[in-house]
Amino acid sequence: MDLPEDNLDRVYVVGTADTKGSELAHLARLIGDTGAPVCRVDVGTRAPEIEVDISAAEVAAHHPDGAGAVFAGDDRGPAVSAMAAAFSRFVASRSDIAGVIGIGGGGGTSIITAGMRRLPYGLPKIMVSTLASGDVAPYVDISDIIMMPSVTDFAGLNQLSRMILHNAARAMAGMVGTPYRETGKQRSIGLTMFGVTTQGVSSTIGHLKDTYDCMVFHATGTGGRTMEKLVADGVLSGVLDLTTTEVCDLLLGGVLPASADRFGAIARSGVPYVGSVGALDMVNFWAPDTVPKIFDGRRFYHHNSNVTLMRTTPDECRLIGEWIGRKLSACKGPVRFLIPEKGVSALDIKGGAFFDPEADEALFRAIESAFVPSAGRRIERLPLHINDAGFAKAAADAFLSII
């Protein structure tokens, strides 16, 4: 498969050439046979077994403290960590990457995915790894890395490893040979949603989808971080952050937390922002036996056998509200924060499992007390539930008024 004639970028084939040389060379040949230009990159910490195009020393030189920080001694652990930092800065400095494909065990996977996470969404990234059938969250994080199990260890080529590497090479060649081209002209906006705010957020999308490309992010910690990364990257023209529940888990020890920099990209970028208090009535835990003992006796809702929700108390709501209010006050761009006085989730409604007007009012007042209004920033209370059609219309109208 040939690359388009105007595409002179190369597929970076990356691995530790000191321990995976034969596999790295084989994978590079497979990709080269498809017609894609190839660049073999060594991220090992010892002498390579094969000829490469970019040496480990060249990669290591991108470490903030120089190559000496990578090759400082015989302890492989610090060397791997330092090489990961160097490779991350190395890939960020390149302008000729059509895609990156890596092979590795524990060390190689850690190094290579650190660099892949620095690359933009959509640029092909395949990591063939001995770790790909386990918990890959530390390696993928909020990126679009494809983790492909190597099945066998990388200890020389065999019938199975040749098949796996063949498939990986063809997958990479296919992606770089026929790259995605966006044909739509709508500006993209981000929205946050949880199961208990789906009805309201979906209705809001209905008011905006003909004008904007609506990207919805599941408010599970990674969702909020992904949305804010796209804000920072300039991909999103505005945000309707109607489900800010990740803050509960950050402050109270839940399993789906925001980062401490939640709202940071929004504040720094000045992107038009409409927010709300969606699902701030709950903290997320896994199965009931995973809930910390300090929460014994609290009000819980068993969403399913693996997800347990805990109702936030008035004191916790005050803590959450003050934190959000301070963060919103740092926003440079236009802000409309809408408070649905009749409930913040599908569970927080009259007759619902989490209905608690006292806790809600503590939340609302805390946000208002910590919030510093300005000509461009203001809070508005609405006598509606967050999933009401009227609230969805108000959120859409508020966004249209500031975008």
Residue with tokens 């804010």: 228
Q: What's the confidence (pLDDT) of residue 268? A: 98
Task: Please report, rounded to a whole number, the percentage of residues in the chain having pLDDT higher than 90.
Answer: 94
Please state the pTM of the whole predicted model: 0.90
Cα three-residue angle 142-143-144, rounded to 5 degrees: 130
Task: Please report, rounded to a whole number, the percentage of residues in the chain having pLDDT higher than 70.
Answer: 98
- What is the CATH code of the structural domain delimited by 187-402? 3.40.50.12030
How do residues 91-139 score in pLDDT, each as one tens digit? Answer: 999 999 999 999 999 999 999 999 999 999 999 999 999 999 999 999 9
- Each domain of the chain, given as residue ranges in start order, spans 10-177, 187-402
How many other CB atoms are found less than 10 A from the CB of residue 303?
15
Reply yes or no on whether the pLDDT at 8 is more than 70.
no
Kindly indicate the confidence band of residue 5, based on its pLDDT and cuts at 50, 70 and 90.
very low
Kindly report which listed range (66-75, 283-292, 301-310) carries the lowest average pLDDT score: 66-75
How do residues 49-98 score in pLDDT, each as one tens digit? Answer: 999 999 999 999 999 999 999 998 778 889 999 999 999 999 999 999 99
The whole-angstrom separation of Cα 300 and Cα 310 is: 5
Q: What's the confidence (pLDDT) of residue 76? A: 82
How do residues 18-40 score in pLDDT, each as one tens digit? Answer: 999 999 999 999 999 999 999 99
The whole-angstrom separation of Cα 267 and Cα 162 is: 49
- Beta-carbon contacts of 237 under 8 Å, excluding residues fewer than 6 positions away, are 187, 188, 189, 212, 271, 272, 403
How do residues 327-366 score in pLDDT, each as one tens digit? Answer: 999 999 999 999 999 999 999 999 999 999 999 999 999 9
More confident residue, 181 or 237: 237
SS3 380: strand
**Token pair for 140:** 């993928």
Mean pLDDT along residues 313-333:
98
Side-chain half-sphere of 69: how many Cα atoms within 13 Å? 16
189-216 as b/e, with b when 16 or more CB fall inside 10 Å?
A: bbbbbbebbbbbbebbbebbeeebbbeb
Same fold across 10-177 and 187-402: yes
Domain at 10-177, CATH homologous superfamily: Uncharacterised protein family UPF0261, NN domain (3.40.50.12020)
